[in-house]
Copies of this chain bind each other. A is one copy, B any other.
Amino acid sequence: MLAELWNLFLLFFLIQGFCPDLIACRTVPASELSLKLDESLPLLWPQPMEFRHGNETLSVDPKLEFRVVGAGSNSSILAEALERYRGIVFRHRTKSSPRPTFDLGRLTIVVSSDSEELQLGVDESYTLFVAGRNPLSIVAEATIEANTIYGAIRGLETFSQLCSFNFKTKEVQVHKAPWYINDKPRFTFRGLLIDTSRHYLPVNVIKQVIDSMSYAKLNVLHWHIIDEQAFPLEVPSYPDLWNGSYTKWERYTIEDAYDLVEYAKRRGVNIMPEIDVPGHAESWGIGYPDLWPSPICREPLDVSQEFTFSVISGILQDMHNIFPFELFHLGGDEVNTECWSSTIHVKQWLENKNMTEKDGYQYFVLRAQQIAAAQNRTPVNWEETFNIFGDKLHPQTVVHNWWGPGVCPKVVAKGLRCIMSNQGQWYLDHLDVPWEDFYISEPLEGIVDPSQQELVIGGEVCMWGETADTSDIQQTIWPRAAAAAERLWSPRAATTGGDLNAIVLPRLEYFRCLLNRRGVAAAPVTNSLARKPPIGPGSCFVQ
């Protein structure tokens, strides 16, 4: 039934996908006459699970009343979100003498739970109803119903996308009302990785990234804090660790980290920290050289020293209160263990334990997992750990795919959970991967058994930082991350098949321009390489 409804809608898009409005479509040079968008289309991104709409246009009162009802109505997070979205919806100044009455005067938000806890799997569902004009009442009504404030925040985002500014009447309008939307995410984990070791990202910039994530309903910021190049985070129990930062100004205090976690939470975004061990950790030894096998052979961390695990334990303890998210990423990727054999005391230790280098790698990862588990954190590890000793991993492990396709099917067949980040499709630093490849990348590819499908908790796009700093991170992330965001949020049937250029591209271009309007530097959608500047003058909607 739902599938039929979708087919009907897709057909509707195709038929309506031409511009009936000369003004909306014209551009001066004939070469640019390709804009096929019409405001009356349901230009929502990501597409809701289920929606119906009519054909009315409603004007929205610039003094729109927010009425908050239910056990969640006292939430300061919700109150702040309402004011944030008021600013987004009513971006343009209106005339000094607006008309006296508007169609839509009130938005009621019903939240049934009083819990503000944000965790993996928190209920993000909502319904949004925007009523048409009713002869029996003075104004039309809009209502968001959600079980949690986080569902309400997702509903507010959708409501804000239904609202558009009419430059002629100078009113905010909702087209195609009445609307009935019933929505919830397909996957519980919809992530974006940022890398603050290859380039330090100021706190303000990370906040900008979090803002933009919430517009696409992404909900996990995977913070790859530390790598071999720099250790920017304060660790009170080992205060010299952040001597490994690039400079004394390119650092995060624990207060900064708390600030970011709270900022993200207020937008329904979890922060999953990563401490990537034992490789990708050279910078640790700037503060504590004993963590290196030797001053001339610095990676991976010295497996033979108890001190190494004391430091890991200290870091995790210090981070426990800062990052309440259940998942904790322990890395484990790209470990070249040659240093262990070429450094005498480590080689001796391995021999004493009757271990190969590979055994040492396994020993290291499993000890780190135990440290995390002892603190009630669920370990996440990159796929090499599974590929090499998958049957030894902690049974709660979430395996993070990155190298290539076909990993999650093997992971879930072993009963472990999986996150997909196939580098050929979801690595944002691969500038030659176009938006279509991000869009068609399917986390459940090759997994048929429903109980195994449930073990794929979602996916993540990765913004590795070798060539991404404050100057170019947003346009490298957007708009391609949005393509993955729809894949992760919307029903599989709605995001599969059909002519992407006809069905999806116009909506994605509209969403890119929406990001631009909100101040996010999302790049042109159809450029040959990501983050390329526009090739010439033209409308945002066709570049």
Contacts and interface: CB of A to CB of B under 8 A. Distances in A.
B253 A167 contact: yes
A163 to B, nearest CB: 13
Interface string A522-537: 1110000001011111
A470 B540 contact: yes
Copies in the complex: 2
A323 to B, nearest CB: 16
A469 B255 contact: no
A307 B6 CA distance: 53
A537 B244 contact: no
Nearest to A170: B253
Given A253-B92, A472-B475, A521-B474, A538 B246 contact: yes
A258 interface: yes
A537 B197 contact: yes
A534 B202 CA distance: 16
A340 to B, nearest CB: 20
A123 interface: no
Contacts of A208: 519
A469 to B, nearest CB: 5
Interface string A11-37: 000000000010111111100100101
Nearest to A229: B537
A247 interface: yes
Contacts of A39: 248-249
Contact of A286 (B28, B202, B229, B522): B28
B519 A202 contact: yes
A438 B352 CA distance: 64
A297 interface: no
Contact of A205 (B199, B253, B256, B516): B516
Contacts of A28: 228-230, 244, 282-283, 286
Contact of A519 (B94, B167, B205, B513): B205
Contact of A517 (B21, B94, B202, B247): B202
A539 interface: yes
A543 interface: yes
Contacts of A25: 247
Contacts of A248: 21, 23-24, 39, 167-168
A486 to B, nearest CB: 20
A541 interface: yes
A198 B199 CA distance: 32
A114 interface: no
Nearest to A21: B248
Contact of A469 (B200, B531, B543): B543
Interface of A: 21, 23-29, 32, 35, 37, 39, 91-95, 164-165, 167-168, 170, 197-200, 202-205, 208, 228-230, 234, 242-244, 246-251, 253, 255-256, 258-259, 282-283, 286, 465-472, 474-476, 513, 516-524, 531, 533-541, 543
11 contacts: A28-B244, A93-B256, A164-B249, A202-B516, A204-B519, A249-B541, A466-B537, A469-B533, A471-B475, A472-B534, A476-B533
7 closest pairs, A vs B, by CB?
Answer: A246-B539, A198-B537, A470-B516, A93-B255, A204-B519, A471-B523, A467-B533
